[in-house]
Amino acid sequence: MIRLSAFQMQTAGPDAAANLAHIETAAREAARAGATLLVSPELGITSYGGGEDILALAEPADGEIVDRLGRIARETGVALVGGFAEKDGDAVYNSAVYTDGSGKPSVYRKSHLYGDYERNLFMPEKPSTCLFSHRGMTLGMLICYDVEFPENVRRLALAGAEMILVPTATPKGASGTFIAEKMIPVRAFENQIFIAYVNNIGRDGDFDYAGRSIIAAPDGTALATAGLSEQLLTVDIEPQLYARSRSENTYLRDL
């Protein structure tokens, strides 16, 4: 069992220092709630809506942003997943990093970029299987649009992921509501895994976000959901409680 916090966050725009400070405050609150892992939204550190200003904030995976997240994790005892613009040579990726402040950080790069806005800023990565262990549980990462392709979730589930963490920046609208309320529970159910789908909130540049973050269980139920304001969700992830669901819904075994 692990206790997970999901931070539906209002960013300060392309102000990495302010956003990191905001995440640190949330990490300290998560620690007080007994959580060992905090997930924040897509590009929550460098902002999703900052346009070309994001490129100036891009850093390598061993840069100050990831180093600062590691220091926060060490100080609070809460491992962090943070979204940032990652620079590698001349390329910039829409990335998320997991760090507990001790071992080597795990970095995932978004493979399915959404719309001209993202394609004009970032390089897509080939679909990859990013897995890591947290407190004995095997976790994976995807970013926003990636989770809408069932192949991505299935690939991670077949590789052994018990939970997938999905930082996202889903905008307001009917499709954003449908994805959070319908698609994410189905992705969890059809793979018999947990999914933490963690959105931005408020306005950032030209974007208004849908909020509606959700932590879905293997049986398709919502362990926690957020509304339309900044919110910290904290839940216990207990795989043993879903043994019956896995025994009845044997999709991975029967492929």
pLDDT tens, residue order, the chain (255 aa) = 999 999 999 999 999 999 999 999 999 999 999 999 999 999 999 999 999 999 999 999 999 999 999 999 999 999 999 999 999 999 999 999 999 999 899 999 999 999 999 999 999 999 999 999 999 999 999 999 999 999 999 999 999 999 999 999 999 999 999 999 999 999 999 999 999 999 999 999 999 999 999 999 999 999 999 999 999 999 999 999 999 999 999 999 999
Tell me which long-range contacts 67-73 makes (C-beta under 8 A, separation of at least 24).
68/20, 69/20, 69/23, 69/97, 69/99, 69/105, 70/99, 70/100, 70/101, 70/105, 71/101, 72/20, 72/23, 72/24, 72/27, 72/101, 73/27, 73/99, 73/100, 73/101
Is 87 among the residues known to form the active site? no
Is 110 among the residues known to form the active site? yes
| CATH number belonging to domain 2-254 | 3.60.110.10
> Hey, where are the domains in the chain?
2-254
Is 130 among the residues known to form the active site? no
Catalytic residue, from 59, 118, 130, 144: name it.
144
Distances from the Cα of 22 to the Cαs of 144, 163, 173, 182, 210, in angstroms? Answer: 21, 25, 26, 30, 20
Is 0.85 surpassed by the pTM of this model?
A: yes
